[in-house]
Amino acid sequence: EPEVTQTPSHQVTQMGQEVILRCVPISNHLYFYWYRQILGQKVEFLVSFYNNEISEKSEIFDDQFSVERPDGSNFTLKIRSTKLEDSAMYFCASSRGMGNEKLFFGSGTQLSVL
Amino acid sequence: AQKITQTQPGMFVQEKEAVTLDCTYDTSDQSYGLFWYKQPSSGEMIFLIYQGSYDEQNATEGRYSLNFQKARKSANLVISASQLGDSAMYFCAMRVDTGNQFYFGTGTSLTVIP
C-alpha cells in the first residue's frame, strides 16, 4: 500500500534554531496536513494545504510556522525559531479527497527542542 | 464548532472479550464522516474504520464495528474477540464536508489482559 514518508524520524535542536520537517505525501493525494502530538496525548491540528495554498490553520500555527510544497512531491513544515514547547511528534498526513476519504499518516518526526 | 469527546482515558479488557470505546461528537453540519484510528506504542496512526453521516448501516471492518447513533451523536468503536495486539491508543476523529480538517478526540488507551 502507498505510504506517506517523513524525514527525519528524530530531530534534536537548540531553542531558537530553525527546523524543517520533510514529508512526501502519497502521489495522487490532493490534501496535505501537519498534526502534532505531545507525549502521546491529543493529536493537534496545525495546518491543511490544498491547491498550493493553506486552506485551514489552527491557533498553534502562528508566524513561526510555515509550510511549502516546493516541487510537487515534497511537503515541508518549517519552524523559524523553535521554543521548548514545540517539542512533540509531528505527523504529516495526506488525503485523496474530501468526504469519506481517510487520512493517511506518516510515521512522524519526533522533535526535541533543548 | 466541531468537537470530539472521548471520556475513557484508559480501558482494560480480557483477551477474547469484546470492548466498546466511546466517542461522542458535536457539529452543526449535516454531512460529516467519523473515523477511528489506532496508535500502537510504536507511534504510527493506523486507520481502522469509517462511518458517514448518511450511512444507514453501521460500518464493520473485520473485528471492528462502529455503533453509530446519530440522534445521540455517538460513534462508539466495538472491538470483538480482543487480542493482545489490540493494546494501543484509539482516537476517534471527525471531518465535516464543508471543511477538510480532521478533528481528533483525546484518545482512549486500551490494554488487553491475557
pLDDT digits (tens, 9 = 90+) for B31-64: 999 999 999 998 889 999 999 999 989 999 999 9
pLDDT digits (tens, 9 = 90+) for A41-63: 889 999 999 999 999 999 999 99
Q: Is the pLDDT of residue A10 over 90?
A: yes
**With contacts defined as CB-CB under 8 Å, which chain B residues touch A43?**
45, 91, 93, 104, 107
SS3 A86: helix
| Whole-number pLDDT of residue B50 | 95
A66 pLDDT band (50/70/90 cuts)?
Answer: very high
**With contacts defined as CB-CB under 8 Å, which chain A residues touch B31?**
99
Q: Phi then psi for B96, rounded to 5 degrees? A: -95, 150
- Three cell numbers written together for B46: 493506523
Of B30, B62, B32, B40, nearest in space to B49 by CA: B62
Exposure of B84 by Cβ count < 10 A (0-12 exposed, 13-18 middle, 19+ buried)? exposed
| Whole-number pLDDT of residue A100 | 78
| Whole-number pLDDT of residue A42 | 86
**With contacts defined as CB-CB under 8 Å, which chain B residues touch A48?**
100-101
Query: Quick check: B106 and A41 CB within 8 A?
Result: yes
Q: Measured between CB atoms, does B30 come within 8 Å of chain A?
A: no
Is the torsion defined by CA of B87, B91, B25, B80 positive or negative?
A: negative
Name the residue in chain A with its Cα closest to that of B4.
A42
pLDDT digits (tens, 9 = 90+) for B55-83: 989 999 999 999 999 999 999 999 999 99
Residue A8 CA to chain centroid, in angstroms?
12
